[in-house]
Amino acid sequence: MTAPTPDQAHKYVGRADYTLAEVTTVLAAERAAQARRCRVPTEGEWPADLVEALLRRTLAALAMRANPLGVAVSVTDFGVSTDRVGGLDPVVRRLEAPHVKLVLG
């Protein structure tokens, strides 16, 4: 596998309301964020787990655009709850775990 292209990410997102330009911008930002956290190939073959993690990062970042404060509020008959959302998806953490950079000092 190679690093995901904007077209592949746009298909992965699967929503027509995100333009290819928006997906391209977010993909580039998430690729940079992933490279700061993980050892990623600069070119050539990419492990399948890093490809999936990058696509999921992109999808999550696009979804968070509608929730800039990162707080989800639920109102039910039993009360109100607020939950922090965002951050790293647990699946992203699991997929990136073998590639995380060890920083000392």
Domain that holds residue 31: 6-99
Residue 105 resides in a domain: no
Residue 104 resides in a domain: no
Residue 1 resides in a domain: no
The two three-digit tokens of residue 33, written as one number: 């964020």
Residue 89 contacts residue 57 (beta carbons within 8 Å): yes
* Cα distances (angstroms) measured from residue 84 to each of 62, 70, 104: 17, 6, 29
The two three-digit tokens of residue 15, written as one number: 């929503």
Residue 46 resides in a domain: yes
Confidence of residue 86 (pLDDT cuts 50, 70, 90): low
The reported pTM is 0.82
Number of compact structural domains in the chain: 1
Give the integer Cα–Cα distance in Å for 82 and 100: 31
Give the integer Cα–Cα distance in Å for 40 and 4: 12
Across all residues in the chain, what is the average pLDDT? 88
Confidence of residue 84 (pLDDT cuts 50, 70, 90): low
Confidence of residue 63 (pLDDT cuts 50, 70, 90): confident
Query: What's the number of CA atoms in the CB half-sphere (13 Å) around residue 96?
Result: 24
What whole-number percentage of the chain has pLDDT above 90?
A: 58
